[in-house]
Amino acid sequence: MESILKFDGVYFTYDDEVDETQGNVHWAVSDLSFEVNPGDFIAVLGHNGSGKSTLAKLSNAILIPDKGEVTVKGISTKDEDRTLEIRQHVGMVFQNPDNQIVATVVEEDVAFGPENLGLPPEEIRRRVDEALKAVGMYEFRENEPHKLSGGQKQRVAIAGIIAMQPECVVLDESTAMLDPKGRREVMDTVRKLHDELGMAVVFITHHMDEAAFADKVLVMDKGKVFLTGTPYEVFRHVDEIRGVGLDVPQATELALALGLPGDILTYGECADAIMHSLEN
Amino acid sequence: MLKDITIGQFFPGNSVIHRMDPRMKLILTIVYIVIIFLCKNFWSLGLVVLALIIVVALSKIPVKVILKSIKPIAIIITFTAVLNMFYVRTGDPLLDWKFIHITTGGVITAVFMIIRICALVVASSLLTYTTSPTLITDGIEQLFSKFKFMRNGVHTIAMMMTIALRFIPTLIEEFEKITNAQKARGADLETGNLVQRAKALIPVLVPLFITSFRRAYELAFAMECRCYHGAEGRTRMKLMKYTKLDAFGFAFIALATGGVVALNIFFQHVI
Ligand SMILES: Nc1ncnc2c1ncn2[C@@H]1O[C@H](COP(=O)(O)OP(=O)(O)OP(=O)(O)O)[C@@H](O)[C@H]1O
Ligand SMILES: [Mg+2]
């Protein structure tokens, strides 16, 4: 199967003049390679400045790699004539919900993407209604965005992306500014997109427990992939993860300390495993 | 709370005037303003005023609100009227006292001025009272998108307007937050003379400016990610449609225009 998004030995720097002979280039990301296949749920973890947002912006031609190549459904992001096509395939949701809502009415904001794609009005209407229903914001379609809660605004932003019907959605710390309730709303919405609509998700986050849902975890450090694998494979390396300034989920840590068997990531799994070992 | 302010002076409602197409309202308001200045005698002026009163009544906007719209320019109106009274020397003299010479021509011009300016202000306020800023912006955009050469320019301005409208509440909220934060640090924003208070606002405005720039930067990214590339190839979900109401409105103003021209021809000009 063709991958939706593919990073192949990607290097990127924000410096203006790249002079590698000097050997002092500050790479925001370096030698980055990974693939996102249809239906994948990939979590990207890393402390501040590890290059997560740079990775996100490289994935839909907001930034273009200095070395290596990013391809979206076989289209290189260097191909300037096809930037729009790329952005339609890979949607992006940012951290601050306030700074990505354009219109003064919820449904008009969701329509912004499809309108830019030049779709006929009836098709836009259909997609907007579908997208708003998918994120559970249909009743709010005529509201003003500034009167919504953070979690609701972020769901509107997500609806605005899925109305473009992308195959892959990249969320760059989209839960970071929300309260626990808002975080849960957004997490549930994202999992629904993945499970029910079959969208591939790249979920960038600081919260380890959110990464537990992923099929694959990518831990970044200093612009490089530091660890990768299934959540349990990654979180088993407690010391390494601590070493790059991150935490492992508490349930996993406890399970490891107790020497419990199995891939334990959530409190529920941990409790079950403890019960099980006590019974024996 | 500050957050709940209505932007501009929109007065939500469901009257026939509210429901008219914003494009038609824009066009008709402009036509109306033109005919106000075409009136040459009291008969045609009366017709124009009558038409306005009918529209105001239909809009169900309280008269108090309408009068309020004239208040800010009352001084300008008085000033123009007085000037006209003293400087226009046509007609028969009414008063000759030292350096003051008032003639019938002067008085008539002054009265015309007052009525014309008031009608102009009320008509244009009525447009903003009955149409939300968003609809006015969209109306202007869709009206001008017919002309290819203007399309891009008008789209850009309309987009800027929409974003400004969208961010006004956000910025107000932020302004409140920063003000509170500075007050908590002991800033005194309420006392002192104008200069002192203006100075005290600097620590509020600087952070507001900086965050606005950051917002603009992030918003531009978000818009690009949603395939924004200007007016080229962009469609709209909600296309405005003219209805019977608009036909009525059009006929109404057309009749008023015809009436003004007829009355101008029929009766003697006084101005
Ligand atoms: N616009 C920019 N100009 C210059 N350097 C930048 C810019 N944005 C990021 N950088 C640098 O690139 C590196 C990677 O930044 P990036 O924003 O990708 O990190 P991040 O993992 O998203 O961090 P955070 O968790 O804070 O969002 C950092 O060293 C940062 O200082
Ligand atoms: Mg970031």
Structure tokens at A147: 């009167």
The whole-number pLDDT of residue B3 equals 46
Which residue among A104, A120, A147 sits closest to B235, beta carbon to beta carbon? A120
Structure tokens at A58: 């490289």
Which residue among A100, A113, A121 sits closest to B236, beta carbon to beta carbon? A121
Structure tokens at B166: 């969208």
CA atoms within 13 A on the CB side of A178: 26
CA nearest neighbour of A206 among A176, A179, A170: A176
B20 has a pLDDT exceeding 90: yes
**Confidence grade of residue B6 (pLDDT, cut at 50, 70, 90):** very low
Mean pLDDT on A38-67: 92
Query: A223, A191 in Cβ contact below 8 A?
Result: no
Dihedral pair phi/psi, residue A252, rounded to 5°: -65, -40
The whole-number pLDDT of residue A18 equals 65
Q: How far is CA B52 from CA A1, A54, B200, in A?
A: 68, 59, 46
Mean pLDDT on A176-205: 92
Residue B79, min C-alpha distance to chain A (Å): 40
> Quick check: is B271 in a domain?
no
> Quick check: is B167 in a domain?
no
Same structural domain, B91 and B119: yes
Same structural domain, B235 and B101: yes
Mean pLDDT, chain B, whole residue set: 88
Long-range Cβ contacts of A12-15 (<8 Å, 24+ apart): A12/A54, A12/A58, A12/A63, A12/A65, A12/A66, A13/A66
- Local structure of residue B39 (DSSP, 8 states): -
Same structural domain, B29 and B82: yes
- The single-letter code of the amino acid at B9 is Q
Residues of chain A in contact with residue B215, where contact means CB-CB under 8 angstroms, are 96, 98-99
The proportion of chain A whose per-residue pLDDT surpasses 70, expressed as a percent, equals 98
CB of A48 within 6 A of ligand 1: the answer is yes
B122 has a pLDDT exceeding 80: yes
CB of A49 within 6 A of ligand 1: the answer is yes
Q: What is the pLDDT of residues A106-131, one digit of tens each?
A: 999 999 999 999 999 999 999 999 99
Q: What is the pLDDT of residues B129-164, one digit of tens each?
A: 999 888 898 899 888 888 888 888 899 999 998 999
Q: How many residues does chain B have?
A: 271
Q: What is the pLDDT of residues B27-59, one digit of tens each?
A: 999 999 999 999 999 999 999 999 999 999 999
The whole-number pLDDT of residue B8 equals 57
The proportion of chain B whose per-residue pLDDT surpasses 90, expressed as a percent, equals 48
Range(s) of the domain holding residue B219? 175-229
B239 has a pLDDT exceeding 70: yes
> Quick check: is B169 in a domain?
no
Q: How far is CA A74 from CA A3, A79, A256, in A?
A: 8, 11, 41
Same structural domain, B219 and B241: no
Same structural domain, B29 and B116: yes
B9 has a pLDDT exceeding 80: no
Same structural domain, B143 and B108: yes
Same structural domain, B249 and B224: no
Interface of A with B (CB under 8 A): 57, 60, 62, 84, 87-88, 91-92, 94, 96, 98-105, 107-108, 111-121, 124-125, 128, 144-147, 157, 160-161, 164
Q: How far is CA B192 from CA A28, B47, B179, B187, in A?
A: 50, 53, 17, 12
Same structural domain, B131 and B224: no
Residues of chain A in contact with residue B234, where contact means CB-CB under 8 angstroms, are 115-116, 118
Same structural domain, B220 and B236: no
> How many cross-chain Cβ pairs, A to B, lie less than 8 Å apart?
98
Same structural domain, B52 and B88: yes
**Selected residue with higher pLDDT from B251 and A279:** B251
Query: A58, B198 in Cβ contact below 8 A?
Result: no
The whole-number pLDDT of residue A1 equals 62
Binary contact (A87, B224; C-beta < 8 A) = yes
CB of A239 within 6 A of ligand 1: the answer is no
Ligand 2 centroid, distance to A174 Cα (angstroms): 10
pTM above 0.90, yes or no: no
The whole-number pLDDT of residue A19 equals 65
Interface test with B, best of A54, A84, A98 (most B CBs within 10 A): A98
Mean pLDDT on B193-209: 88
β-strands A90-93, A75-76 pairing: unpaired
What chain A residue is nearest to B216 in terms of C-alpha separation? A99
Query: B211, B174 in Cβ contact below 8 A?
Result: yes
Mean pLDDT on B206-215: 93
Which domains does chain A carry?
5-248 (3.40.50.300)
> Quick check: is B47 in a domain?
yes
Q: Name the burial class of residue A104, with classes exposed (0-12), middle (13-18) and buried (19+) by CB atoms within 10 angstroms of its CB.
A: buried
Same structural domain, B190 and B62: no
Q: What is the ipTM of this complex?
A: 0.88
Residue A87, min C-alpha distance to chain B (Å): 6
Ligand 2 centroid, distance to A51 Cα (angstroms): 7
Q: What is the pLDDT of residues B56-84, one digit of tens each?
A: 999 999 999 888 888 888 898 999 888 88
Which residue among B169, B215, B223 sits closest to A146, beta carbon to beta carbon? B169
Which residue among B169, B222, B228 sits closest to A99, beta carbon to beta carbon? B222
Mean pLDDT on A182-187: 91
Q: How many domains does chain B have?
A: 2
Q: How far is CA A3 from CA A38, A114, B21, B190, in A?
A: 7, 24, 48, 61
Ligand 2 centroid, distance to A93 Cα (angstroms): 12
Q: What is the pLDDT of residues A155-172, one digit of tens each?
A: 999 999 999 999 999 999
The whole-number pLDDT of residue A25 equals 80
Give the integer Cα–Cα distance in Å for A136 and A151: 11
> Quick check: is B215 in a domain?
yes
> Quick check: is B238 in a domain?
yes
Mean pLDDT on B119-136: 90
Same structural domain, B133 and B182: no
> Quick check: is B8 in a domain?
yes
The whole-number pLDDT of residue B97 equals 77
The whole-number pLDDT of residue B247 equals 96
Q: How far is CA B210 from CA A201, B223, B228, in A?
A: 33, 20, 25
Residue A92, min C-alpha distance to chain B (Å): 6
List all residues of chain B from 118 to 137 with a beta carbon under 8 Å from chain A.
134
